[in-house]
Amino acid sequence: MATIPLTLRGAQLLKDELQRLKSVERPAVITAIAEARAQGDLSENAEYDAARERQGFIEGRIAELESKISNAQVIDPKSLQTEGRVVFAATVDLEDLEAGSKVTYQIVGDDEADIKSGLISVSSPIARALIGKYAGDIAEVQAPGGVREYEILDVRYE
């Protein structure tokens, strides 16, 4: 599996979720399975089936998180030496040249992306258009409604 880029915050979120699944969710589902087994006939026991299904989901998510964490390349934006270039984990202030609106995005890994919080995936069209550019450059982004132009106002590494 290829390395997965993550910010420090994103790596910590994955570790926290993994810890919660192992220490809270897994024991709870094991208890639920034991209680359902105690009710007798398992062939018509909906609680048992639901608990087993939940256990399968939890175990699958634990395996997925462990894989992502082991393949993660954690990038601290403060340690980057990029001379103002837009790179992974950079925070970028943009102005939509057509609408005149200003937005701020941080380029993060796919698992961390949350557009409402200003976190865009490194594989998104806008992030791909921004990577490698500097403050003052114009980035053309292929959007569903056509090409949009953004001026890069500032690049920060927070």
Mean pLDDT of 85-93: 91
What pLDDT, in 10s, does the model give residues 6-45? 988 889 999 999 999 999 999 999 998 888 888 877 677 7
What's the average model confidence in pLDDT over 110-136?
A: 91
Instruction: Report the percent of the chain where pLDDT is more than 90.
Output: 53
Structure tokens at 40: 């007798």
The closest of 55, 74, 59, 76 to 14, measured between CA atoms, is: 74
| Phi then psi dihedrals of residue 141, to 5 deg | -115, 125
Gap between the Cα atoms of 106 and 113, Å rounded: 9
What was the pLDDT predicted at 111?
Answer: 86
Query: Among the listed ranges 3-17, 34-48, 60-74, 110-124, which one has the minimum average pLDDT value?
Result: 34-48
Instruction: Identify the bridge partners of residue 149 per DSSP, sorted by sequence position.
Output: 140
List of domains in the chain? 4-75 (1.10.287.180), 77-156 (3.10.50.30)
pLDDT for the residue 13: 92
For residue 92, is pLDDT > 90?
Answer: yes
HEC secondary structure over 64-130: HHHHHHHCEEEECHHHCCCCCECCCCCEEEEEECCCCCEEEEEEECCCCCEHHHCEEECCCHHHHHH
Tell me the mean pLDDT in the region 119-136: 92
Binning pLDDT at 50, 70 and 90, where does residue 1 land?
A: low
The predicted model scores a pTM of 0.78
Q: What pLDDT, on a 0 to 100 scale, did the predictor assign at position 21?
A: 96
Tokens 């993060």 correspond to: 108
Q: By percentage, how much of the chain surpasses pLDDT 70?
A: 99
